[in-house]
Amino acid sequence: MRLLDSGRAWIKVCYYRASSVGQPWDDMAANVQALVAAAPDRCAWGTDCPHPRMDPVPEAGLLLDHFVEWVPGAALCQRVLVYNAAKLYGF
Q: pLDDT for 45-69, tens place per residue?
A: 998 888 888 888 899 999 999 999 9
Per-residue model confidence (pLDDT) at position 56:
87
Give the integer Cα–Cα distance in Å for 81 and 46.
8
Whether this model's pTM surpasses 0.85? yes
Give the domain ranges of the chain.
2-52+65-89
- Predicted local distance difference test score (pLDDT) of residue 53: 85
* Measured CA distances, 81 to 2, 48, 51, 55, 89 (Å): 22, 14, 19, 25, 13
pLDDT digits (tens, 9 = 90+) for 5-41: 898 999 999 999 899 998 889 999 999 999 999 999 9
Select the more confidently predicted residue: 1 or 83.
83
Q: Within 10 Å of residue 77's Cβ, how many Cβ atoms? A: 18
pLDDT value at residue 25:
92
CB count, 10 Å around CB of 16? 18
Instruction: Read off φ and ψ for residue 45, nearest 5 degrees.
Output: -80, 145
Is residue 65 classed as helix, strand or coil in its secondary structure? helix
